[in-house]
Every structure is written in C-alpha cells, then in structure tokens.
Structure 1
Amino acid sequence: PDATFMRMKEDAMNNGQTKPGYNLQISAENQFITDFALFPNPTDTLTLIPFFNSFLDRYGHLPSVAVADSGYGSEENYRFMDEAGMEAYVKYNRFHLEQRPRYKPNPFHHDNFHYNATEDYYVCPMGQHMTRIGTSHTKTASGYRSENARYRAHNCKGCPLRCMCYKAKGDRRIIEVNHRLNEYKHKARELLTSEEGIRHRGRRCIEPEAVFGQMKFNMAYRRFRHFGKDKVTMDFAFFAIAFNIKKMCSKIAKQTKNGGNTPHFGLFLHIYPILDSENRIFWTNPQKSVA
C-alpha cells in the first residue's frame, strides 16, 4: 500500500504499462552514495526538499552545493536552497533549449517581452504597454503558494501581429508572470553557465547516473526484494552500504597498484552513525549533493 503505480523505463510490452514502485532518490559524491530516500510520488519536483531534510537528519547539516537536473527546478525548490545558503546548480525546464546553438527566443512569449521594473509594465512586440491589473495565486501539491502578477494590453484589436501573438478570443491579451521564479532562473542560469557550473554539469552525468548504471546493469539490482516502505528502505540501505564498501575497496586496490597511499578513512564513512563518540575513528562530511 505504500507504493504507487508508475511507468517504468523497463517496459517489455512497450505500451506504457504501470507497475507498483517507489521513486528512489540518491545523492552521490565521487560515485559514493551519500544519502538516499524513497518517495511514493513519481515526479521529482516534490522530492527535493524532503530529500534535503533527510540529508540534514543524517549529517546534521545541509550540503553547501547542490547539482541537479531540470526535474527539480521549481520556485519552491529554488527558494528553499536560496534561504538555506546553498549554491544551486539546478537546471530549469527550458535551460537545455536555451543552450542550443540555433536557439532563437520566441518574440511573442512573455518571457521575452521588455519589462520596465520601475513602473511595473511590459511592452509587447508592437510596442504597446501592458499594465498590471492584479495578482493570482497558485498552490502546489505540497501546499506552497506561488504569486503571479497579471498584465493586460490596452487594445489588441486590429493588431497585424495578433494571429502570431495569442489565440484567445478577447481583444486584450493577458499574461501572468512569476517574478520571483524569473529571478531564481536568472541566478541559476548565471551559475550553470559559469566555469564552475560547466564543470558541475559535466560531472552530474557521471555521478548519480553511473551509480544507477552500476546498480541496474552490473549488479542486476532492478527491483526490491521486500514489500512496504520500511522493509524496502532496509533493503536498499544494506545495498548502499555494500556498494560503498565495494567502491572503496576498488579505489584502495587501484591506488595500491599505482603506488599511492591507501585512504583508510573512507571505510569508516558509513559506520559512523552507529559508533559511540569515543569509538569514532575518522569522519568526513560530504559537501556536495548530486540529485
């Protein structure tokens, strides 16, 4: 009863068949699993904040840097990371499209209209001012309320660009703009296109994706062996511990073969929470979370 019917990537019938499952979220650093959590909702947007809270409960602090794909780019998530003081290298839904060499902004999309912040109005492609007429609110499934400013043109009747501008029946176009989300997107774009952001974007593909690839294809761990969220959590916890020990042993063997020093501290990373304070030998705090 804790699971939810979801569409899986493994679809033998190729007909969009749904199966009961969980949305597994992991954070990784240097391809080590630093945290994990299971969620019943299939979308990633609503999992980021609870996952960060899980990270906080496990380590006593939030990561200083977060790198994630566009599935996590929402106003609610950006605001949480901003107020937590995190560097959010998190893409939004149109970021990939904007980075294409042949990308041309749509001049009739309100995101590309000129905005006068001083007098709070937009200018449409024909040069007509769109004044603010009110505010609307939307509520997400988690209860977060977003505020959208509404702007309306004075008169679109007879405009030669009307057929390309909008398809509504009215003679005055109305747009809704989320100014706070636009600010977060602008900040995210600057971070993602910086030299450090390009480096993080390159590493994101080989951090959690490589872990999932090793899990599913190298170790054939494609489905849980128990029922119920508590048992499934126990199931994956043992797997994550074994995965990290295997990864550390592989690194030790490789460094020993190359004549390097053996990083013994890594072996004690995941047994830290179960040891008493006087028995804790080594400890390093993960600084980055890659969702």
Structure 2
Amino acid sequence: MLVQQQEMQLSAYSDLYNLIVPKENLLRKINELIDFSFIYDELANKYCSNNGRNAESPIRMFKYLLLKTIYTISDVDVVERSRFDMSFKYFLGMSPEQDVINASSLTKFRKLRLKDADLLNLLIGKTVSIAIEKGIVRSKSIIVDATHTLSRSNPFSAIEVLKERSKLLRKAIYTVDENLKGQLPVKNMDDNLQSEIAYCKELENVIESDPTLSLIPTVKEKLNLLKETVEDTQDNFILSKDMEAKTGHKSADSSFFGYKTHIAMTEERIITAATITSAEKGDGPELPKLLRVSQQNGMEVDTIVGDTAYSGKENLKLASAQNIKIIARLNPSITQGIRKDEDKFDYNKDADRFVCPAGHMAIRKARQGKKNSGENQVDTYYFDVQKCRTCPLRDGCYKPGAKTKTYSVSIKSDLHQEQISFQETDYYKEKSKHRYKIEAKNSELKNVHGYRRASSYGIENMQMQGAIAIFTVNLKRILKLER
C-alpha cells in the first residue's frame, strides 16, 4: 500500500545535516533545485492504495537509482553507503538514525514500478522545463547525434567480463597490500566458463574470510561488482545473448553489439530529447522525433546542427516546412537513399554503407558512370547473397536464384543547390562550430555515468538507464550554469 510521501521524520539528530552536509554538496543542491513529487504522481497508479503493508516511498526508491548513476556503484553499495554517508541520507529524506532498505528492493522497483513508465521523456522534459524557467536555455538551436552503448553480453563473452572484474578486484587488493599476492587462489587460465565462475567464488570466499580486507571500501565495491556479475552470469549464461540488441557499425571494418541513443541538445548543453534504438538503426530517421519532442518540451527551434547523417531529403523537407535551417553537409548517398516508402534502406554514415531492413550492411560499393557525361552517376551497394537467401524479409527484396543483391543510388548534383549554397554562408560555418559540444556530452555519459555498457538486458531496461543518466547530466549542467 502506498501512502503520500512524508517529510523527513522528526529526529533529535536532524540538525547534524546542517553541520555535515555543506551547502556546496551536489546532493543538497539537487534537492534544492528540483521537487521530486512528480515521481510520486507518475508512479502512484502502480501501487495499491488501500491494501497491504506500507510501501517504501517511490521518490526515495527513485533517488536510490539516481545515486547509483551519479556515483556509478552497484545496488548493494548504494544501499550500504546510504547507511553511513550523511549526504546520501539527507538526499534520500531519511533521519540520521533511520535504517536503509534491502538492496533487492531496487530490482523489484525497477521491474514492477518503472516498467512501462515513459521515464525517458518524463525526466528529460522535467529538466528542460527547469532550464527554460531559470533562463538557462537562450539559444534556438539543437545539436543532434547518436552515441553507442554496448550490450551487457557483448562484445565481451561472459567469461571475459568475469576475468576483467576479478582482475579489478585483485588490483584493488594489491593496492592495499602487495604481500597478499601469494595468498589468493591461483587464477583460472582456462576458457571454460564454469571454471572461471568457480575461481571467482573461491576468490570471494577468501576475501570475505578476512573481515579487515573485505571492509576496505575500494575492495568491497569491486567485490560486490564481481558477486553481482557471477550471479547474473549463472542466471543468464545459457541465454546470455541480448535478444533486442543488434549489430551496428562504427566504420566499414568495425562493429559493435548493442544500442544507439539518439540525442538532441541545446548550445548550452542541456539535452532536450532522446530516443533509444537497436544499434543497426540509422541516425537520420530519428531527427523528426527528436525535433518534435524538443518542441513539446518547450524549445523554440530555428536551427538543427548535425553531421551528414541528418541531411537526408525527408529531413530537409521537414526543416523547410518549419523554416528551420539544417547545419549538416549534404551527402548524395543520404539525400537520394530512399527510393520509395516501402524500400527502407538506412544509410550508415560511419561505415559509408547502406543497411537493409533486416539489419544487414552492404559488403562493398562501386560507382558507375562518368562525371560530366550528361548522365547521372550511380553508387551501387552489394549485399551478401548468402544472407539474402535465408533472410525472413527476402520476399519482394531478393529474387530466388540471383547471384547478387544490389541497391543503387542515383547522384544528382543539382538537386540541392539551395543547401549547397547555404553551406558556404558565414551563418552555417559559425553554427557548425558548436557540433563538438555533443561529442563531449556523449563522452560524459559514457565515462562518468556508466553509459558505455548497458547495465541490464533489453531495450526497455536500456531506456530506463538512459533516462536516469540523462536526467543526471542535465541536473549537473543546470547547477553549473546557475552559479
């Protein structure tokens, strides 16, 4: 049963917060910046209002997840740290002597309460409204790009992840005492998953048998991460492949298995919209949604800054209809890539290849025709026929018995003269200088807030992870610009 969120419990020790948690503390500033009651309003219908024992406040549970993202720690460690870290307790709205939740409650909260909630748009919309209200957002431009997130299960196998986690744990131990090297179990040198799991468990037991060592914070955090990985591997190693993740390409020769987060951001570096897709999806087709959501969140947009992936014909038409300028260089493969509505071949600008509706990328391309001959040149993309023969989408796409499958693009150099001329203007050149900002934002998400790898399986969990990570970086940015 859910009761209305209560204020911090009265306690004789509450004044300690004024002494221990300074005004400059990040968590105090976040609490003062935003009223989290919107979380209660969003999730109230996920609880029973008149039956059962009282549930933990959804606002407090959400704040636990926010702390996980801010400090990149495990469920176990965020709960344990909340037991003694006064800034955590203050942020969570707890009295100093109040006890914490069981870490397993966070898993249940994610699965039962956050499932089906449009958390991504809710949290981004909330931070954008705060930024606009405070006058932080002044520009009318959005910068768009996509960032890659590796699946939890790839490109590393389960055994590779376990080996890396156990290595980090050993490194933390040796930092404390190098003499312990000879006292730890002998490393597993096999490529057998069960042998590695057995080694990791043995390593856990040895460390936990030494109370002094296991309670050292740096060792304890790495130990909890290893234990969490072992448990997850035991549950999922047979079905460890993330069924909703796909293979995307960073270049013609390099690929990754996971997801893409498509982002729109202001020149002040406030993210205004995001969509999450599997990795094989093109960047350009996501622009209309990014623009629409940014506008719904209160942004007035007159310019869109991006790379060549966003200069497709449909995007140029959309921008022209709304009198919006697109700062993105034309690429003939993009501008003419879609021949008809049912022929959705996406262009991957990183690999300079088209990807078919089934997610398979062309293996090579060739240009036909001569320049200045009076006829259009054509780029022809060749696909792997072996894959086409067994593809579930082959009907109407691949002719049975054909030895090749190609996709041709006509290059018309005079079709976009207006955009070509615009690319030479001072306004275009000045606005294009802002594109680097979104690369820095992508780097912050990955390197500071754990967005390099998915924390769980499936696109729904990826959206939840993205929502909290983007919410975090937006709050931090607002606090920085508010000074």
TM-score by length of 1: 0.51
- Structure 1 runs of 4+ aligned residues shifted over 6 Å read 176-179
Secondary structure of 2:274 counterpart: strand
**CA 1:90–1:142 in 2, change beyond 3 Å: closer, same or farther?**
farther
- Which residue does the alignment assign to 1:247? 477
Task: For 1:245, give the aligned amino acid.
Answer: L
- Shift in alpha-carbon separation, 1:3–1:53, aligned structure 2, 3 A: farther
Q: What is the rounded CA distance, in whole Å, between the counterparts of 1:191 and 1:143 in structure 2?
A: 28
Does structure 2 retain, via aligned residues, the 8 Å contact 1:192–1:201?
Answer: no
> 1:175 — aligned with what?
376
**Is this contact kept in 2: 1:7–1:16, CA < 8 A?**
yes
Which residue number corresponds to residue 118 of structure 1?
none
Alignment of 1:191 with 2:422, yes or no, is yes
Instruction: Tell me the residue number matched to 2:322.
Output: 84
Q: 1:238-291 deviations in whole A, cap 9, x for unaligned?
A: 111111111222233xx4xxxxxxxxxxxxxxxxxxxxxxxxxxxxxxxxxxxx
Offset at 1:227?
A: 2.4
Equivalent of 2:464, from 231, 234, 237? 234
Q: Which residue of 2 aligns with 1:47?
A: 286
Match of 1:208 in 2: 438
Residues of 2 paired with 1:182 and 1:78: CA distance? 15
| Alignment-derived partner of residue 87 in structure 2 | none
CA distance in 1, matches of 2:301, 2:315: 14
Shift of 1:82: 1.1
The residue correspondences of 1:54-65 to structure 2 (distance < 5 A) are 54-56=293-295, 58-59=296-297, 63-65=301-303
**Amino acid in structure 2 at the alignment position of 1:87:** K
Taking the aligned partners of 2:255 and 2:299, their CA distance within structure 1 comes to 40
How far does residue 208 in structure 1 lie from its aligned partner after superposition? 0.9
Separation of aligned partners in 1, 2:481 and 2:307: 28
2:262 paired with 1:25: yes
Tell me the equivalent position of 1:279: none
Deviation at 1:43, TM superposition (A): 2.2
CA contact (8 A) 2:445 2:469 kept: no
Superposition deviation, residue 3 in structure 1: 2.5
Question: Aligned pair in 2 of structure 1 residues 35, 50: CA closer, same or farther (>3 Å)?
Answer: closer
Report how far residue 219 of structure 1 moved. Answer: 3.7
User: Do the aligned partners of residues 141 and 26 (structure 1) sit closer, same or farther apart at CA in structure 2, a change above 3 Å counting?
Assistant: farther
Q: CA deviation at 1:204?
A: 1.2
> Comparing both structures, which one devotes a greater share of its residues to helix?
2
Q: Secondary structure at the match of 1:139?
A: coil
CA distance in 2, matches of 1:77, 1:242: 30
Task: Look up the SS of the partner of 1:203 in the other structure.
Answer: coil
Query: Given that residues 2 and 228 in structure 1 are in contact (C-alpha distance below 8 angstroms), is that contact kept between their aligned partners in structure 2?
Result: yes
Give the C-alpha shift of residue 85 in structure 1: 2.2
Question: 2: distance between equivalents of 1:77 and 1:195?
Answer: 22
**Cα offset, 1:34, TM superposition:** 1.3
The question of whether the paired residues in 2 share the 8 Å contact of 1:3 and 1:22 is answered with yes
Whether the 8 Å contact between 1:31 and 1:210 is mirrored in structure 2 is no
The 2-side partners of 1:31 and 1:60 are apart by 15
Matches within 5 A, 1:58-207: 58-59=296-297, 63-93=301-331, 138-139=339-340, 166=369, 174-175=375-376, 182-183=414-415, 185-205=416-436, 207=437
Q: Which has the higher strand share?
A: 1
For residues 82 and 178 of structure 1, the distance between their equivalents in structure 2, rounded to whole angstroms, comes to: 22
Deviation at 1:173, TM superposition (A): 7.1
Question: Any stretches of 5+ residues in structure 2 without a counterpart?
Answer: 1-242, 333-337, 346-367, 378-409
Alpha-carbon spacing, 1:201–1:8, altered in 2? closer, same or farther (3 Å): closer
Query: Could you say what secondary structure the match of 2:434 adopts?
Result: helix
The Cα shift of 1:65 comes to: 1.4
In the other structure, the counterpart of 1:7 is 249
Q: Which amino acid aligns with 1:22?
A: Y
Q: Indicate the percent of aligned positions where both proteins have the same amino acid.
A: 16
CA distance in 1, matches of 2:454, 2:326: 32
Q: Which runs of 5+ in 1 are unaligned?
A: 10-14, 95-136, 145-164, 256-291
Partners of 2:343 and 2:274 lie apart in 1 by 20
Q: State the distance in 2 between where 1:61 and 1:246 align.
A: 20
The structure with more radius of gyration: 2
Give, in whole Å, the separation in 2 of the partners of 1:83 and 1:187.
14
Over 3 Å counting, the alpha-carbon distance change for 1:222 and 1:143 in structure 2 is closer
Distance between the aligned counterparts of 2:287 and 2:473, measured in 1? 23
**SS of corresponding position for 2:272:** strand
Conserved 8 A contact 1:52-1:62: no
Contact 2:272 2:293 in 1 (8 A): no
CA contact 1:90–1:188 (8 Å) conserved in 2: no
Contact 1:89 1:188 in 2 (8 A): no
> Measured at CA, do residues 88 and 182 of structure 1 come closer, stay the same or move farther in structure 2, by a change above 3 Å?
farther
Is residue 223 from structure 1 mapped to residue 470 from structure 2 by the alignment?
no
**Cα 1:141–1:228 shift into 2, 3 Å:** farther
Amino acid at match of 1:53: R
C-alpha displacement at 1:182, in angstroms? 4.0
